Structure 1
Amino acid sequence: MARIKPQALLLQSKKKKGPTRISATTIITCNLIIVLIVLCLVATYRHWSQRSRYQLENDLPNLVDADAVGDLNKFDLPSYAILNTSKGLITVELNKEGSPEIVDKFLDLCQKGHFKGMPFHRVIKNYVIQGGDFQRLGAAEDWTMKGKSSSQLATSLKHEAFMLGTSKGKYDGKGFELFITTAPTTDLNDKLIVFGRVIKGEDVVQEIEEVDTDEHYRPKSPIGIINVTLKREI
Protein backbone atom coordinates (compact mmCIF):
# COMPACT_ATOMS: atom_id res chain seq x y z
CA MET A 1 0.00 0.00 0.00
CA ALA A 2 1.12 3.51 -0.75
CA ARG A 3 2.06 5.50 2.27
CA ILE A 4 0.64 9.00 2.67
CA LYS A 5 3.40 11.56 2.94
CA PRO A 6 3.46 13.89 5.97
CA GLN A 7 2.93 16.88 3.69
CA ALA A 8 -0.34 15.35 2.39
CA LEU A 9 -1.57 14.71 5.91
CA LEU A 10 -0.89 18.31 6.83
CA LEU A 11 -2.86 19.56 3.84
CA GLN A 12 -5.83 17.28 4.71
CA SER A 13 -5.95 18.51 8.32
CA LYS A 14 -6.03 22.12 7.15
CA LYS A 15 -9.00 21.34 4.94
CA LYS A 16 -11.13 20.08 7.89
CA LYS A 17 -13.81 22.54 8.95
CA GLY A 18 -13.93 23.89 12.48
CA PRO A 19 -17.06 23.98 14.71
CA THR A 20 -20.10 25.54 13.04
CA ARG A 21 -21.08 28.84 14.61
CA ILE A 22 -24.83 29.51 15.29
CA SER A 23 -25.87 32.86 14.01
CA ALA A 24 -27.63 35.43 16.21
CA THR A 25 -30.71 35.23 13.98
CA THR A 26 -31.05 31.51 14.64
CA ILE A 27 -30.73 32.02 18.40
CA ILE A 28 -33.39 34.74 18.42
CA THR A 29 -35.73 32.62 16.31
CA CYS A 30 -35.38 29.62 18.64
CA ASN A 31 -36.03 31.80 21.68
CA LEU A 32 -39.14 33.23 20.08
CA ILE A 33 -40.43 29.73 19.33
CA ILE A 34 -39.85 28.67 22.95
CA VAL A 35 -41.66 31.77 24.24
CA LEU A 36 -44.61 31.07 21.94
CA ILE A 37 -44.81 27.47 23.13
CA VAL A 38 -44.80 28.59 26.77
CA LEU A 39 -47.52 31.17 26.12
CA CYS A 40 -49.65 28.56 24.35
CA LEU A 41 -49.28 26.18 27.31
CA VAL A 42 -50.25 28.90 29.79
CA ALA A 43 -53.29 29.89 27.70
CA THR A 44 -54.35 26.25 27.41
CA TYR A 45 -53.99 25.74 31.17
CA ARG A 46 -56.10 28.82 31.94
CA HIS A 47 -58.76 27.72 29.46
CA TRP A 48 -59.16 24.26 30.95
CA SER A 49 -59.00 25.60 34.52
CA GLN A 50 -61.88 27.99 33.85
CA ARG A 51 -63.81 25.27 32.04
CA SER A 52 -63.34 22.86 34.92
CA ARG A 53 -64.51 25.47 37.42
CA TYR A 54 -67.55 26.25 35.25
CA GLN A 55 -68.44 22.57 35.02
CA LEU A 56 -68.05 22.21 38.77
CA GLU A 57 -70.49 25.06 39.37
CA ASN A 58 -72.99 23.97 36.73
CA ASP A 59 -72.60 20.20 36.82
CA LEU A 60 -72.35 19.68 40.56
CA PRO A 61 -72.90 15.99 41.30
CA ASN A 62 -76.59 15.31 41.70
CA LEU A 63 -76.10 13.49 44.96
CA VAL A 64 -74.80 15.60 47.84
CA ASP A 65 -74.01 14.31 51.30
CA ALA A 66 -75.61 16.85 53.62
CA ASP A 67 -73.03 16.19 56.33
CA ALA A 68 -70.09 16.86 53.99
CA VAL A 69 -71.37 19.56 51.66
CA GLY A 70 -69.67 22.95 51.73
CA ASP A 71 -71.12 26.40 51.10
CA LEU A 72 -74.41 25.74 49.33
CA ASN A 73 -74.76 29.40 48.36
CA LYS A 74 -72.14 28.89 45.67
CA PHE A 75 -74.40 26.52 43.81
CA ASP A 76 -78.08 26.10 43.10
CA LEU A 77 -79.73 25.01 46.31
CA PRO A 78 -80.86 21.36 46.44
CA SER A 79 -84.55 20.82 45.76
CA TYR A 80 -84.87 17.43 47.42
CA ALA A 81 -83.93 15.86 50.73
CA ILE A 82 -83.74 12.13 51.39
CA LEU A 83 -84.35 11.20 55.02
CA ASN A 84 -82.60 7.92 55.74
CA THR A 85 -84.66 6.57 58.63
CA SER A 86 -84.40 3.35 60.58
CA LYS A 87 -87.42 2.14 58.57
CA GLY A 88 -86.20 3.20 55.11
CA LEU A 89 -85.81 6.19 52.82
CA ILE A 90 -88.23 9.13 52.63
CA THR A 91 -87.75 11.53 49.70
CA VAL A 92 -89.05 15.06 50.23
CA GLU A 93 -89.44 17.85 47.67
CA LEU A 94 -88.56 21.17 49.31
CA ASN A 95 -90.84 24.16 48.78
CA LYS A 96 -88.12 26.74 48.11
CA GLU A 97 -90.52 29.30 46.66
CA GLY A 98 -93.24 29.06 49.29
CA SER A 99 -90.98 28.86 52.36
CA PRO A 100 -87.53 30.13 51.32
CA GLU A 101 -86.32 31.12 54.80
CA ILE A 102 -87.33 27.81 56.35
CA VAL A 103 -85.78 25.81 53.52
CA ASP A 104 -82.54 27.80 53.83
CA LYS A 105 -82.46 27.09 57.56
CA PHE A 106 -83.23 23.42 56.98
CA LEU A 107 -80.38 23.12 54.46
CA ASP A 108 -78.01 24.95 56.80
CA LEU A 109 -78.88 22.57 59.63
CA CYS A 110 -78.40 19.62 57.27
CA GLN A 111 -74.85 20.82 56.61
CA LYS A 112 -74.23 20.96 60.35
CA GLY A 113 -75.56 17.43 60.87
CA HIS A 114 -78.44 18.64 63.05
CA PHE A 115 -80.81 15.89 61.89
CA LYS A 116 -78.27 13.07 62.02
CA GLY A 117 -79.53 10.64 64.64
CA MET A 118 -82.68 12.70 65.40
CA PRO A 119 -85.34 10.41 66.95
CA PHE A 120 -89.04 10.55 66.29
CA HIS A 121 -90.36 11.32 69.78
CA ARG A 122 -94.04 11.20 68.96
CA VAL A 123 -96.08 9.09 66.59
CA ILE A 124 -99.83 9.71 66.40
CA LYS A 125 -101.62 7.39 64.00
CA ASN A 126 -103.67 9.07 61.28
CA TYR A 127 -102.20 12.38 62.28
CA VAL A 128 -98.48 13.13 62.47
CA ILE A 129 -95.02 11.79 63.27
CA GLN A 130 -92.77 14.20 65.06
CA GLY A 131 -89.06 14.52 65.70
CA GLY A 132 -86.92 17.00 67.61
CA ASP A 133 -86.73 18.33 71.13
CA PHE A 134 -89.38 16.44 73.09
CA GLN A 135 -89.54 19.15 75.76
CA ARG A 136 -90.86 21.60 73.15
CA LEU A 137 -93.56 19.37 71.69
CA GLY A 138 -96.39 20.28 74.05
CA ALA A 139 -98.97 17.95 75.51
CA ALA A 140 -100.05 15.15 73.21
CA GLU A 141 -103.63 15.50 74.40
CA ASP A 142 -103.76 19.07 73.12
CA TRP A 143 -102.76 17.90 69.66
CA THR A 144 -105.21 15.03 69.42
CA MET A 145 -108.18 16.85 70.91
CA LYS A 146 -107.68 19.89 68.72
CA GLY A 147 -107.29 17.67 65.69
CA LYS A 148 -110.61 15.94 66.32
CA SER A 149 -112.48 19.18 66.98
CA SER A 150 -111.42 20.74 63.69
CA SER A 151 -111.47 17.66 61.48
CA GLN A 152 -114.47 18.97 59.52
CA LEU A 153 -112.69 22.05 58.23
CA ALA A 154 -111.94 22.32 54.53
CA THR A 155 -108.41 21.24 53.64
CA SER A 156 -105.83 23.02 51.54
CA LEU A 157 -102.60 21.87 49.96
CA LYS A 158 -100.53 22.42 53.09
CA HIS A 159 -103.01 20.41 55.16
CA GLU A 160 -102.67 17.26 53.10
CA ALA A 161 -101.04 14.06 54.26
CA PHE A 162 -97.32 13.44 53.77
CA MET A 163 -96.29 17.07 54.21
CA LEU A 164 -93.05 18.11 55.91
CA GLY A 165 -93.16 21.01 58.34
CA THR A 166 -91.69 22.61 61.43
CA SER A 167 -93.09 24.53 64.38
CA LYS A 168 -93.82 28.21 63.88
CA GLY A 169 -91.38 30.41 65.76
CA LYS A 170 -89.20 27.46 66.80
CA TYR A 171 -86.99 26.89 63.80
CA ASP A 172 -83.76 28.04 65.40
CA GLY A 173 -80.84 25.65 65.48
CA LYS A 174 -81.77 24.01 68.78
CA GLY A 175 -85.53 23.89 68.43
CA PHE A 176 -85.97 23.02 64.77
CA GLU A 177 -88.49 20.19 64.85
CA LEU A 178 -89.65 18.01 61.98
CA PHE A 179 -93.24 16.97 61.40
CA ILE A 180 -94.53 14.60 58.74
CA THR A 181 -98.31 14.51 58.51
CA THR A 182 -99.99 11.19 57.85
CA ALA A 183 -103.49 12.58 57.24
CA PRO A 184 -105.12 15.94 56.42
CA THR A 185 -104.45 18.14 59.47
CA THR A 186 -106.34 21.40 59.11
CA ASP A 187 -105.78 22.30 62.75
CA LEU A 188 -102.00 22.52 62.33
CA ASN A 189 -102.24 25.74 60.33
CA ASP A 190 -101.58 27.72 63.53
CA LYS A 191 -98.71 25.50 64.60
CA LEU A 192 -96.78 24.38 61.56
CA ILE A 193 -94.90 25.92 58.67
CA VAL A 194 -95.01 23.48 55.79
CA PHE A 195 -91.85 23.53 53.67
CA GLY A 196 -91.87 20.21 51.85
CA ARG A 197 -93.87 17.28 50.52
CA VAL A 198 -93.09 13.56 50.61
CA ILE A 199 -92.91 12.36 47.01
CA LYS A 200 -91.42 8.93 47.63
CA GLY A 201 -91.40 6.69 50.66
CA GLU A 202 -95.00 7.15 51.79
CA ASP A 203 -94.95 3.48 52.71
CA VAL A 204 -92.02 4.17 55.03
CA VAL A 205 -93.96 7.00 56.68
CA GLN A 206 -96.90 4.63 57.17
CA GLU A 207 -94.62 1.96 58.60
CA ILE A 208 -93.30 4.48 61.14
CA GLU A 209 -96.88 5.46 61.87
CA GLU A 210 -97.71 1.86 62.79
CA VAL A 211 -95.02 1.41 65.46
CA ASP A 212 -96.15 0.61 68.98
CA THR A 213 -96.34 3.63 71.27
CA ASP A 214 -97.10 4.28 74.94
CA GLU A 215 -99.98 6.33 76.30
CA HIS A 216 -98.05 9.52 75.47
CA TYR A 217 -97.57 8.46 71.83
CA ARG A 218 -93.87 7.83 72.36
CA PRO A 219 -92.49 4.90 70.32
CA LYS A 220 -91.62 1.95 72.51
CA SER A 221 -88.64 1.12 70.30
CA PRO A 222 -86.13 3.77 69.16
CA ILE A 223 -86.87 5.07 65.68
CA GLY A 224 -85.54 8.11 63.91
CA ILE A 225 -83.41 9.70 61.20
CA ILE A 226 -80.00 8.18 60.52
CA ASN A 227 -78.84 10.95 58.19
CA VAL A 228 -80.03 13.31 55.45
CA THR A 229 -78.88 13.42 51.83
CA LEU A 230 -79.56 16.40 49.57
CA LYS A 231 -80.17 16.20 45.83
CA ARG A 232 -80.58 18.83 43.14
CA GLU A 233 -82.56 16.53 40.86
CA ILE A 234 -84.19 13.13 41.02
Structure 2
Amino acid sequence: MARIKPLALLVQSKKKKGPTRISATTVIFCNLIVGLIVLSLVATYRNWSRRSRNALSTFEDTHSFADSKKYDLPGYAAINTSKGYLTVELFKDGSPETVDKFLDLCQKGHFKGMPFHHVIKNYVIQGGNFQGLGAAEDWTSKVRLHSQLATSPKHDAFMLGTLKTKDIKGFELFITTAPIPDLSDNLVVFGRVVKGQDVVQEIEEVDTDEHYRPKSPIRIINVTLKSEI
Protein backbone atom coordinates (compact mmCIF):
# COMPACT_ATOMS: atom_id res chain seq x y z
CA MET A 1 0.00 0.00 0.00
CA ALA A 2 1.29 3.44 -0.93
CA ARG A 3 2.09 5.66 2.03
CA ILE A 4 0.30 8.99 2.33
CA LYS A 5 2.71 11.82 2.49
CA PRO A 6 2.59 14.30 5.35
CA LEU A 7 1.64 17.09 3.03
CA ALA A 8 -1.39 15.12 1.80
CA LEU A 9 -2.49 14.49 5.39
CA LEU A 10 -2.34 18.19 6.11
CA VAL A 11 -4.49 18.94 3.10
CA GLN A 12 -7.06 16.26 4.12
CA SER A 13 -7.30 17.59 7.68
CA LYS A 14 -8.07 21.08 6.40
CA LYS A 15 -10.92 19.65 4.34
CA LYS A 16 -12.66 18.05 7.47
CA LYS A 17 -15.52 20.03 8.91
CA GLY A 18 -15.25 21.34 12.49
CA PRO A 19 -18.04 21.05 15.11
CA THR A 20 -21.31 22.84 14.27
CA ARG A 21 -21.81 26.02 16.25
CA ILE A 22 -25.24 26.65 18.05
CA SER A 23 -26.40 30.14 17.49
CA ALA A 24 -27.22 32.45 20.42
CA THR A 25 -30.80 32.78 19.14
CA THR A 26 -31.34 29.02 19.43
CA VAL A 27 -29.97 28.99 23.01
CA ILE A 28 -32.26 31.84 24.06
CA PHE A 29 -35.29 30.17 22.45
CA CYS A 30 -34.62 26.85 24.23
CA ASN A 31 -34.21 28.64 27.56
CA LEU A 32 -37.55 30.38 27.02
CA ILE A 33 -39.26 27.04 26.32
CA VAL A 34 -37.79 25.49 29.48
CA GLY A 35 -38.79 28.54 31.53
CA LEU A 36 -42.37 28.40 30.28
CA ILE A 37 -42.59 24.69 31.13
CA VAL A 38 -41.29 25.33 34.66
CA LEU A 39 -43.70 28.25 35.19
CA SER A 40 -46.61 26.11 33.95
CA LEU A 41 -45.73 23.31 36.37
CA VAL A 42 -45.44 25.74 39.30
CA ALA A 43 -48.79 27.36 38.47
CA THR A 44 -50.46 23.93 38.18
CA TYR A 45 -49.06 22.84 41.55
CA ARG A 46 -50.18 26.03 43.28
CA ASN A 47 -53.70 25.73 41.83
CA TRP A 48 -53.99 22.07 42.90
CA SER A 49 -52.67 22.87 46.37
CA ARG A 50 -55.14 25.75 46.78
CA ARG A 51 -58.09 23.59 45.67
CA SER A 52 -57.05 20.80 48.04
CA ARG A 53 -56.91 23.23 50.97
CA ASN A 54 -60.33 24.66 50.08
CA ALA A 55 -61.85 21.18 49.79
CA LEU A 56 -60.38 20.18 53.16
CA SER A 57 -61.62 23.40 54.74
CA THR A 58 -65.13 22.83 53.36
CA PHE A 59 -65.11 19.24 54.61
CA GLU A 60 -64.00 20.31 58.10
CA ASP A 61 -66.55 23.14 58.22
CA THR A 62 -69.36 20.78 57.20
CA HIS A 63 -68.45 18.21 59.82
CA SER A 64 -67.89 20.90 62.41
CA PHE A 65 -71.35 22.29 61.67
CA ALA A 66 -72.92 18.82 61.84
CA ASP A 67 -71.17 18.07 65.13
CA SER A 68 -72.10 21.43 66.64
CA LYS A 69 -75.67 20.96 65.45
CA LYS A 70 -75.74 17.54 67.09
CA TYR A 71 -74.48 18.78 70.43
CA ASP A 72 -76.62 21.94 70.33
CA LEU A 73 -79.77 19.82 70.39
CA PRO A 74 -81.72 20.04 73.66
CA GLY A 75 -80.73 17.28 76.05
CA TYR A 76 -83.78 17.44 78.30
CA ALA A 77 -87.55 17.65 78.03
CA ALA A 78 -89.77 19.02 80.81
CA ILE A 79 -93.14 17.29 80.53
CA ASN A 80 -95.98 19.10 82.27
CA THR A 81 -98.76 16.63 83.11
CA SER A 82 -102.08 17.02 84.89
CA LYS A 83 -100.33 15.44 87.90
CA GLY A 84 -97.26 17.69 87.82
CA TYR A 85 -93.88 18.16 86.11
CA LEU A 86 -91.33 15.52 85.25
CA THR A 87 -87.96 16.08 83.53
CA VAL A 88 -86.56 13.57 81.05
CA GLU A 89 -82.93 13.24 79.99
CA LEU A 90 -82.73 12.34 76.28
CA PHE A 91 -80.22 9.77 75.00
CA LYS A 92 -78.97 11.78 72.01
CA ASP A 93 -76.03 9.44 71.37
CA GLY A 94 -77.75 6.14 72.14
CA SER A 95 -80.97 6.69 70.15
CA PRO A 96 -80.33 9.69 67.85
CA GLU A 97 -83.04 8.98 65.26
CA THR A 98 -85.77 8.49 67.88
CA VAL A 99 -84.63 11.57 69.81
CA ASP A 100 -84.66 13.65 66.62
CA LYS A 101 -88.22 12.54 65.89
CA PHE A 102 -89.29 13.24 69.48
CA LEU A 103 -87.76 16.74 69.40
CA ASP A 104 -89.42 17.50 66.07
CA LEU A 105 -92.81 16.42 67.42
CA CYS A 106 -92.30 18.49 70.58
CA GLN A 107 -91.58 21.60 68.52
CA LYS A 108 -94.75 20.97 66.51
CA GLY A 109 -96.83 20.67 69.70
CA HIS A 110 -97.68 17.04 68.98
CA PHE A 111 -97.80 16.00 72.66
CA LYS A 112 -99.93 18.91 73.87
CA GLY A 113 -103.10 17.46 75.39
CA MET A 114 -102.00 13.88 74.77
CA PRO A 115 -103.61 11.39 77.21
CA PHE A 116 -102.01 8.63 79.24
CA HIS A 117 -104.44 5.97 78.04
CA HIS A 118 -102.98 2.93 79.83
CA VAL A 119 -101.61 2.72 83.36
CA ILE A 120 -100.35 -0.65 84.57
CA LYS A 121 -99.16 -0.68 88.16
CA ASN A 122 -95.58 -1.89 88.66
CA TYR A 123 -95.08 -1.92 84.90
CA VAL A 124 -95.59 1.11 82.65
CA ILE A 125 -97.68 4.16 81.96
CA GLN A 126 -98.48 4.67 78.30
CA GLY A 127 -99.34 7.89 76.51
CA GLY A 128 -100.22 8.63 72.93
CA ASN A 129 -103.02 8.98 70.44
CA PHE A 130 -103.53 5.25 69.92
CA GLN A 131 -107.25 4.54 70.39
CA GLY A 132 -107.17 0.73 70.63
CA LEU A 133 -105.85 -1.43 73.42
CA GLY A 134 -102.16 -0.66 73.59
CA ALA A 135 -99.22 -3.01 73.50
CA ALA A 136 -98.76 -2.53 77.24
CA GLU A 137 -101.93 -4.54 77.92
CA ASP A 138 -100.59 -7.44 75.87
CA TRP A 139 -97.35 -7.45 77.84
CA THR A 140 -99.00 -7.93 81.23
CA SER A 141 -99.13 -11.69 80.71
CA LYS A 142 -95.34 -11.69 80.39
CA VAL A 143 -94.55 -9.77 83.57
CA ARG A 144 -94.62 -12.69 85.98
CA LEU A 145 -93.13 -15.08 83.44
CA HIS A 146 -90.08 -12.89 82.82
CA SER A 147 -89.73 -11.41 86.30
CA GLN A 148 -86.69 -13.57 87.03
CA LEU A 149 -84.71 -12.54 83.93
CA ALA A 150 -81.55 -10.51 84.34
CA THR A 151 -81.90 -6.79 83.79
CA SER A 152 -79.54 -4.01 82.79
CA PRO A 153 -79.70 -0.26 83.56
CA LYS A 154 -81.51 0.10 80.24
CA HIS A 155 -84.38 -1.99 81.65
CA ASP A 156 -84.70 -0.07 84.91
CA ALA A 157 -87.67 1.90 86.20
CA PHE A 158 -88.40 5.44 84.97
CA MET A 159 -87.07 4.78 81.47
CA LEU A 160 -88.68 6.57 78.51
CA GLY A 161 -89.33 4.62 75.35
CA THR A 162 -91.51 4.26 72.29
CA LEU A 163 -92.72 1.29 70.28
CA LYS A 164 -90.28 -0.29 67.85
CA THR A 165 -93.01 -0.99 65.30
CA LYS A 166 -93.66 1.67 62.67
CA ASP A 167 -97.13 0.37 61.81
CA ILE A 168 -98.85 2.50 64.47
CA LYS A 169 -99.45 6.10 63.50
CA GLY A 170 -98.30 8.81 65.86
CA PHE A 171 -95.72 8.41 68.59
CA GLU A 172 -96.45 6.31 71.68
CA LEU A 173 -94.71 7.22 74.93
CA PHE A 174 -93.94 4.62 77.59
CA ILE A 175 -92.51 5.37 81.03
CA THR A 176 -91.58 2.28 83.02
CA THR A 177 -92.48 2.16 86.69
CA ALA A 178 -90.47 -0.99 87.46
CA PRO A 179 -87.54 -2.91 85.91
CA ILE A 180 -88.75 -4.74 82.80
CA PRO A 181 -86.41 -7.56 81.66
CA ASP A 182 -87.99 -7.90 78.21
CA LEU A 183 -88.11 -4.18 77.56
CA SER A 184 -85.78 -4.34 74.54
CA ASP A 185 -88.16 -6.69 72.75
CA ASN A 186 -90.85 -4.04 72.55
CA LEU A 187 -89.44 -0.56 73.01
CA VAL A 188 -86.75 1.77 71.79
CA VAL A 189 -85.44 3.40 74.97
CA PHE A 190 -84.46 7.02 74.29
CA GLY A 191 -84.48 8.70 77.70
CA ARG A 192 -85.02 8.45 81.44
CA VAL A 193 -86.86 10.46 84.06
CA VAL A 194 -84.31 12.36 86.16
CA LYS A 195 -86.75 14.61 88.05
CA GLY A 196 -90.39 14.02 88.95
CA GLN A 197 -90.29 10.29 89.66
CA ASP A 198 -92.93 11.00 92.32
CA VAL A 199 -95.21 12.34 89.55
CA VAL A 200 -94.78 9.09 87.62
CA GLN A 201 -95.64 7.13 90.75
CA GLU A 202 -98.69 9.31 91.35
CA ILE A 203 -99.93 8.60 87.83
CA GLU A 204 -99.26 4.92 88.43
CA GLU A 205 -101.58 4.94 91.46
CA VAL A 206 -104.69 6.21 89.66
CA ASP A 207 -107.78 4.04 89.45
CA THR A 208 -108.15 2.11 86.20
CA ASP A 209 -110.77 -0.14 84.62
CA GLU A 210 -110.30 -3.78 83.70
CA HIS A 211 -108.42 -2.71 80.55
CA TYR A 212 -105.93 -0.57 82.53
CA ARG A 213 -107.44 2.68 81.26
CA PRO A 214 -107.55 5.52 83.83
CA LYS A 215 -111.02 6.30 85.08
CA SER A 216 -110.09 10.00 85.33
CA PRO A 217 -108.30 11.63 82.37
CA ILE A 218 -104.56 12.21 82.78
CA ARG A 219 -102.94 14.31 80.08
CA ILE A 220 -99.73 15.94 78.99
CA ILE A 221 -100.33 19.69 79.13
CA ASN A 222 -97.19 20.64 77.19
CA VAL A 223 -93.52 19.76 76.69
CA THR A 224 -90.67 22.27 77.06
CA LEU A 225 -87.24 21.45 75.60
CA LYS A 226 -84.15 22.40 77.62
CA SER A 227 -80.38 22.28 77.17
CA GLU A 228 -79.85 21.61 80.86
CA ILE A 229 -81.91 20.83 83.92
TM-score for both structures, normalised by structure 1:
0.65
Q: Is the 8 A contact 1:140 1:217 kept in 2?
A: no
Structure-2 residue corresponding to 1:194: 189
Q: Secondary structure at the match of 1:149?
A: coil
Structure 2 residue runs of 5 or longer lacking an equivalent are 1-68
Q: Distance in 2 between matches of 1:171 and 1:107?
A: 20
2:115 to 98, 112, 119: 119
Deviation track 1:50-69 (CA, whole Å, cap 9, x = no partner) reads xxxxxxxxxxxxxxxxxxxx
Task: Measure how far apart 1:136 and its partner are.
Answer: 5.5
Structure-1 residue corresponding to 2:138: 142
User: Which ranges of 4 or more aligned residues in structure 1 deviate by more than 4 Å?
Assistant: none
Greater CA drift, 89-98 or 133-142: 133-142
Structure-1 residue corresponding to 2:221: 226
CA-based RMSD:
2.1
Q: Which amino acid aligns with 2:205?
A: E
Q: Which amino acid aligns with 2:106?
A: C
Task: Measure how far apart 1:204 and its partner are.
Answer: 0.3
> Among the aligned pairs, what percent are the same residue?
80
Q: Is the 8 A contact 1:129 1:181 kept in 2?
A: yes
Q: Would you say how many aligned residue pairs link Structure 1 and Structure 2?
A: 162
Q: Distance in 2 between matches of 1:132 and 1:100?
A: 21
Deviation track 1:152-174 (CA, whole Å, cap 9, x = no partner) reads 100011100000000002398x4
Task: Measure how far apart 1:75 and its partner are.
Answer: 8.0
Structure 1 residue runs of 5 or longer lacking an equivalent are 1-72
Q: Secondary structure at the match of 1:206?
A: helix
Q: Which amino acid aligns with 2:81?
A: T
Change over 3 Å in CA distance of 1:201–1:141 after alignment to 2: closer
Is 1:97 the equivalent of 2:93?
Answer: yes
